[in-house]
Amino acid sequence: MRRSQHLGRSGANPARGGASAIKQSAVEQGNGNMSADNGVYVLYTEAAKGSEYRVAYAHAIDNIFGTFSEETNSWTGDNTAIVNTFGESKVFYNLAEALDYAEDLSKEFEYLEDDVSIISDFQDRAHLFDLGGEDYGESGC
């Protein structure tokens, strides 16, 4: 299995190089090409029934983080972007199963700038998703 990275950005202040320092674009690396800014992402949330992991391929994942709040020292999150990115994704109740699926999904793409990444900044956002979606994995309902 490919090693996943963690894109949690709580407390990463962009004014101090936080979020922008997490990932460098190809332009910043000096080759003059535009960044692909894509990856397979695992969104970790906590629901009443336990942990949920939603897996999706996306471009411009930074959009889900919203704005940075100096008051709370965290990202506000953009609920619309979160739902647009993960609303139709498969839901797992076991991280290992989610990562296995994410790894399989990542093989469908020639290049992923962010590879397989776990996002844990929005653990309290499970309520954003329609409960009518399909569940996946042994622990699913």
Q: Is residue 19 part of a domain?
A: no
Domain count, the chain: 1
Q: Is residue 18 part of a domain?
A: no
Q: Is residue 125 part of a domain?
A: yes
Q: Is residue 67 part of a domain?
A: yes
Residue pair 54/86 in contact by the 8 Å Cβ criterion: yes
| Range(s) of the domain holding residue 61 | 5-10+36-130
**pLDDT by residue for the chain (141 residues), tens digit each?**
333 455 554 444 333 333 333 333 333 333 444 457 899 999 999 999 899 999 999 999 999 999 999 999 999 999 999 999 999 999 999 999 999 999 999 999 999 999 999 999 999 999 998 644 444 444 333
Closest among 123, 116, 121 to 11, alpha carbons compared:
121
70-93 per-position pLDDT tens digit: 999 999 999 999 999 999 999 999
Q: Residue 103 and residue 1: Cα distance in Å, rounded?
A: 7
**What radius of gyration do the chain's Cα atoms show?**
15
